[in-house]
Chain A
Amino acid sequence: MTSIPDKRPPLAAWLVKSGAVVLRYLAIFVVAFTLFGVILWIAGKDPWLAIRDTLTYTLGSGRGLSEVVVKMTPLLLTALAVAVPSRVMLINIGSEGQLYMGACLGTWVALSFTGLPAWVMLPFMLFMGAVGGALWALVPAILRARGLVNETITTLLLNYVAPSLVTFFIYGPWRSPGNSFYPQTLDFVPAARLPLLGDTRIHLGLVVGLVMLGLYWLLMKYTRWGLEMRAIGGNAQAAKRSGIPVTTYLILALCIGGALAGVAGIAEVAGAHGRLRPGFSPGFGYTGFLINWLAGGHPLGILVMAFVVALITSGGDILQINQGLPFAVVDILLAITLFVVLARPALRLKGKRA
């Protein structure tokens, strides 16, 4: 950041600055949507109709909007799962696998201890979800901290292992006997379901996500740990020389990230589905990575971007139904948005580089 003091009054300066930020993000999305429209047009679809459908079916109705919030819930947590390690310059692309393992261990609690009351069951279940995700991140974390293997490639490879393990449990010990056609576990008992908000499908996971976001903000801004993590991110050598336990921080940061992704997994299963199915995540982990990059690791940015990306993915469902487009086209739109951000580094929030 530049060190020239701003002479304007604080409020006006703040307005100018945040106005500029909003304008930049709007510009990013306008460019991204235009490029996406061009691709749809080449594919023989009507881009106007696609974008209009996306907006009317999501923002246009209370139900559509609540579904966007349901989609946003795991994304908040998976974005944080990338954000925390990124503060110490670790790249966690493994949140997809960590999410699956969190769902796996959480489901084990929900299926094994069916007699527990909800006030014991839910914390226990979410805790084990966090443990599952953290354990899945532990191996890459140790390998990286000991300087053996870069965490990028190990977390990526483990993404392909975790869903297979979950599928193994669903086809094996956990298979619901009543349903032989559609493989899934038994329905969770009511005590293991996350409470819903009113008559929507918005569940307690949203509160968990928002609390975690708040904690992340407090941790980074007001604690010694946040400061030390920034120091490691800035220059690990210097941080080590000044007595910061870098190795511990690296392992902890990646495991906390894994835990957050694990909570996202079990919250999604126990909140939105009520049973574990193979392939229940449409790439929440990867999408979380994109959100964190778009937001530059900034807590408020993560909130906004998680909402916008949830809106886009909900739009993907609608495009799939109304236009017969594969769901994966959403990846195109998200990727183009990221291209625009990457190609114009100056557009990123100053000093908030992930």
Chain B
Amino acid sequence: MTLLSLLGVVSSAIFSGASLLYATLGEIINERAGIVDLALEGVLLVSAATGFAVTVETGSPYLGVLAAMLAGAALNLLFGYLVIGRRANQLASGLAVMFFGFGLSALIGRDYTSARINSLPRFALPGTSLIPALSTSQFKFDPLIYLALPVTVLVWWLLFHTRWGLGLRAVGENAQTAFAAGRSPQRIQYQAIIGSGLLAGLAAAHLSIAWTMVWGEFMTAGRGFIAVALVIFSKWHPLRAIAGALLFGGAVAFQLLMQASGIQISPFLLDTTPYLLTLIVLIAWGGTRRHAAPASLGRVYQGTE
């Protein structure tokens, strides 16, 4: 095990953790407004496919990222229409949109499965050029990774230090009361859904355009669900989501380390580590979630007469 391959593992962990962080942040915004969004997996797929296709067609990864974000917001808006506009069951609507995303992403990505793209540029961490081992090609990151932490802080500030965030959290706790206090629950929930769609788009764009640079059917491999689980782990708090993303990145790093170390473990068994780890974390933290969860999470706001 050389230092170089160790660095490769760490950088893979950072890459996979960053895209998960964006997805988790989006879900936190949603759930803080009282909406459980199981559509996330499908939204990620559609955004990844759209972003990738636009990057291939225009040659610009930046336009690709933009397209992925817009696609994420658009598909989430469809979900929002069902659960806010039509007051449908959130879990069933989420799964319906997820199925829709499975099919739609396959249709969008159909002609791009073997396409190559210009990726986002990657920069070395400032200062690391001084250390020879770190100045390798392995240890460079794209702008979306550098943006992940500022975006997390931004979401935290928006949710906990602005009037808008107060209203949003109030809707998640008790929409009736928020309405009585002069807020419009529907409008706030739509805003939350669009915001989380944009973040899901960023997550997917990072996955397909910046990191793997390919498109494949079902390439997100359950990241959407892992993000939903990490929301519980992070107790609906954006800053704690960083720990969740690091954890998942760690699972990926572990997987790669085991493969690189030459220990004979089936890759199919190693594939299950992120899901099992997420499950174990859920069990370990699940008992304490009661106090942290928004009180009317998953409840359909029926409007106030």
Question: B99, A342: Cβ atoms under 8 Å?
Answer: no
Partner of B92, one of A39, A147, A333, A342: A342
Question: A330, B286: Cβ atoms under 8 Å?
Answer: no
Once A328-B106, A330-B103, A335-B96 are accepted as A-B contacts, the answer to whether A157 and B286 lie under 8 Å apart by CB is no
Query: By DSSP majority rule, is chain B's interface helix, strand, loop, or mixed?
Result: helix
CB < 8 Å A-B pair total: 126
Q: Give chain A nearest CB distance to B123 CB in angstroms.
A: 33
Q: Give chain B nearest CB distance to A317 CB in angstroms.
A: 14
Partner of B229, one of A153, A164, A171, A342: A153
Interface membership of A149, Cβ < 8 A: yes
Question: A329, B96: Cβ atoms under 8 Å?
Answer: no
Question: A168, B269: Cβ atoms under 8 Å?
Answer: yes
Question: B82, A339: Cβ atoms under 8 Å?
Answer: yes
Binds B, one of A16-24, A239-247, A286-294: A286-294
Q: Give chain A nearest CB distance to B82 CB in angstroms.
A: 5
Question: A165, B91: Cβ atoms under 8 Å?
Answer: no
Q: Which B residue's beta carbon lies closest to that of A170?
A: B268
Interface membership of A55, Cβ < 8 A: no
Report chain A residues within 8 Å CB of B303: none
Interface membership of B254, Cβ < 8 A: no
* Interface bits A292-321 vs B (CB < 8 Å: 1, else 0): 010000000000000000000000000000
Interface membership of A135, Cβ < 8 A: no
Interface membership of A43, Cβ < 8 A: yes
Q: Give chain A nearest CB distance to B81 CB in angstroms.
A: 8
Once A143-B286, A171-B266 are accepted as A-B contacts, the answer to whether A335 and B278 lie under 8 Å apart by CB is no
Report chain B residues within 8 Å CB of A325: 107, 110
Partner of A326, one of B82, B217, B226, B271: B217
Report chain B residues within 8 Å CB of A154: 279, 282
Interface membership of A118, Cβ < 8 A: no
Question: B89, A342: Cβ atoms under 8 Å?
Answer: yes
Bound form: Cα–Cα A154–B229 in Å:
8
Once A153-B228, A332-B100 are accepted as A-B contacts, the answer to whether A148 and B283 lie under 8 Å apart by CB is yes
Bound form: Cα–Cα A327–B102 in Å:
10
Question: A334, B99: Cβ atoms under 8 Å?
Answer: yes
Interface membership of B221, Cβ < 8 A: yes
- Size class of the B contact interface (CB-based, 8 Å): 35 or more
* Interface bits B31-68 vs A (CB < 8 Å: 1, else 0): 00000001000000000000000000000000000000
Query: By DSSP majority rule, is chain A's interface helix, strand, loop, or mixed?
Result: helix
Interface membership of B143, Cβ < 8 A: no
Question: A158, B282: Cβ atoms under 8 Å?
Answer: no
- Size class of the A contact interface (CB-based, 8 Å): 35 or more
Question: B96, A157: Cβ atoms under 8 Å?
Answer: no
Partner of B103, one of A147, A148, A335, A343: A335
Question: A336, B100: Cβ atoms under 8 Å?
Answer: yes
* Interface bits B101-143 vs A (CB < 8 Å: 1, else 0): 0111111001000000000000000000000000000000000
Question: A331, B275: Cβ atoms under 8 Å?
Answer: no
Q: Which B residue's beta carbon lies closest to that of A286?
A: B99
Q: Give chain B nearest CB distance to A231 CB in angstroms.
A: 21
Report chain A residues within 8 Å CB of B271: 164
Bound form: Cα–Cα A39–B97 in Å:
15
Q: Give chain B nearest CB distance to A66 CB in angstroms.
A: 26
Interface membership of B16, Cβ < 8 A: no
Q: Give chain A nearest CB distance to B179 CB in angstroms.
A: 22
Question: B107, A153: Cβ atoms under 8 Å?
Answer: no
Question: A153, B232: Cβ atoms under 8 Å?
Answer: yes
Question: B268, A167: Cβ atoms under 8 Å?
Answer: yes
Q: Give chain A nearest CB distance to B39 CB in angstroms.
A: 10
Q: Give chain A nearest CB distance to B93 CB in angstroms.
A: 5
Report chain A residues within 8 Å CB of B89: 342
Partner of B88, one of A164, A335, A336, A343: A343
Bound form: Cα–Cα A159–B279 in Å:
12
Q: Which A residue's beta carbon lies closest to that of B277?
A: A157
Knowing that A328-B217, A335-B103 are A-B contacts, what are 11 other residue pairs whose CB atoms are under 8 Å apart, sorted by A's residue number?
A153-B282, A156-B222, A157-B279, A158-B275, A165-B269, A168-B266, A326-B217, A332-B103, A342-B86, A342-B96, A343-B86
Closest 4 CB pairs of A and B: A332-B103, A331-B103, A328-B106, A335-B100
Interface residues of B (CB under 8 A from A): 38, 78, 81-82, 86-89, 91-93, 95-97, 99-100, 102-107, 110, 217, 221-222, 225-226, 228-229, 232, 266, 268-269, 271-272, 275-276, 278-279, 282-283, 286-287
